[in-house]
Structure 1
Amino acid sequence: MTRASRNLLEGAVTLLAGLAVWLFTGDVEVPVVTPTKVGVVLMCVGGAQTVRGVYGLTRRST
């Protein structure tokens, strides 16, 4: 598995995990952090990693 495809896979999984956290933890109260904000951060990180993986795959193939 190349680095670009690994970034793509990890980014997609992180993005989906962040989406699940954002959608399903709206009524959960945690004293230190807000779970919905953590979900948004996970989605941003996963999206960036997915974009990096796609860029690496397209860059390598040309």
Structure 2
Amino acid sequence: MSKAKQYAVEGVGTFLIGLLLWRFTGDVEVPVVTLTKVGIVMMIVGGVLSANGLWHAARGGT
């Protein structure tokens, strides 16, 4: 698997998990972190990974 495809798949997966956390864990109480905020951070990281995959694909990276 090329780096571009790997980054894109990881980014989309991370974004979707973050979206699920952000959307459906509003009522869940965890002592250390807020799961909705973790979901937002994961969506941002997923977006950055996806953008990195698109960048590698546009540059013709392997």
The alignment's TM-score, normalised by the length of structure 2, stands at: 0.94
Alignment partner of 1:31: what SS? Answer: coil
Q: CA deviation at 1:39?
A: 0.1
Equivalent residue number for residue 23 of structure 1: 23
Number of paired residues? 61
Deviations along 1:3-60, one digit per CA (max 9) or x if unpaired, are 1110000000000000000000001010100000000000000000000001100110
For structure 1, the residue ranges without an aligned partner over 5 or more in a row are: none
CA RMSD between the two structures:
1.0
Q: Which runs of 5+ in 2 are unaligned?
A: none
Q: How does 1:8-47 map to 2 (within 5 A)?
A: 8-47=8-47
Identity %: 51
